[in-house]
Amino acid sequence: MFAAHCFPNRQRFCPRCKGRRLYLLRDHRRRCAKCRYTFNEFAGRWLDSTNFSHREWLHFLKLFEACYSTSQIAKSLNITYVTASRAGFITRQAILSQYSASVLAAQPNSVVWGITQQHSRVIVKALPDLDPDKALRLPILKTFRAGNVYTNPWQHFEDYFQTLVFRPKCQILGVADAHLSKRPLAIDRLDHFWQYARTHRLFWRQVGRTNLGPYWGEHSFRFHHRNTPLLPRLLHAICAPTPRN
């Protein structure tokens, strides 16, 4: 199953130089005749980023597809929470690489994100010129949910966002009460993606600062493909080559 996604035309190639003349070694690894690089079959792919067996990866992806929590996945697979969390992180990176490359490129440095729905598409965009301190003082309604701040709509230069989301820095938490409100936001009255977000309680899940972009990127992916099975797309994503720096 994984080989079919990695090599749809059954043509293996070297992950370093893309050469197709390979030698099969006794330990089942391959060696490139051109650059002499020795590698396993899935080297250079997201699939090779953990020690999971193919059976474990398949089980994990089925649970991930069903939106199981990290602790539930760890218990079901009989693995540590850290291992399950890393597999989730890798899967989100793979999803972003295929479907939201701009989010993948922007994180982990960006900490303020703009989210909006335009027609049937959800856009998650990093705002590198805004930091949490500046964003907290913007003259718009904001509220605190599960450790993160969400705002009313904001026009950022030429971009219009239905909400900004960020996690305040520790040193500015003390001034948060002066800038936050418990009143409902505009997104609480919007339908489509925001109704999906409320139904899945996305606003009330604890998400770290560096994971905010990938988290909302993942759920925009889920929303865009909510009427089709996700497992084939997840398999395609983790079998894709990891981007080179």
What pLDDT sits at residue 176? 52
CATH topology of domain 1-44: N-terminal domain of TfIIb (2.20.25)
* pLDDT of 188 over the 60 cut: yes
Indicate the DSSP class of residue 184.
P
Residue-wise pLDDT for 17-55, tens only, equals: 888 888 888 878 888 888 888 887 777 889 888 888 889
In the three-class reduction of DSSP (H, G, I as helix; E, B as strand; rest coil), residue 124 is classed as: strand
What pLDDT sits at residue 65? 95
Contact call for residues 218 and 92 (beta carbons, < 8 A): yes
Residue-wise pLDDT for 48-95, tens only, equals: 888 888 899 999 999 999 999 999 999 999 999 999 999 999 999 999
Domains of the chain, residue spans? 1-44, 104-229
Residue-wise pLDDT for 125-183, tens only, equals: 999 888 888 888 888 999 888 888 999 999 988 899 999 999 887 555 555 555 677 78
Note the pTM of the prediction, 2 decimals.
Answer: 0.83
Q: Which residues of 98-116 are buried (b: 16+ CB within 10 A; e: fewer)?
A: bbbeebbebbeebbbbbbb
What pLDDT sits at residue 174? 55
What pLDDT sits at residue 109? 64
What pLDDT sits at residue 59? 95
Tell me the torsion sign for CA atoms 13, 14, 19, 22. negative
Contact call for residues 107 and 214 (beta carbons, < 8 A): yes
* pLDDT of 107 over the 70 cut: no
Q: Out of 99-103, 123-127, 206-210, give the one with best mean pLDDT.
A: 123-127
End-to-end CA distance of the chain: 28
Distance, CA of 75 to CA of 233 (rounded, Å): 25
What pLDDT sits at residue 74? 95
What pLDDT sits at residue 27? 78
- Phi/psi at 165 (5° precision): -135, 135
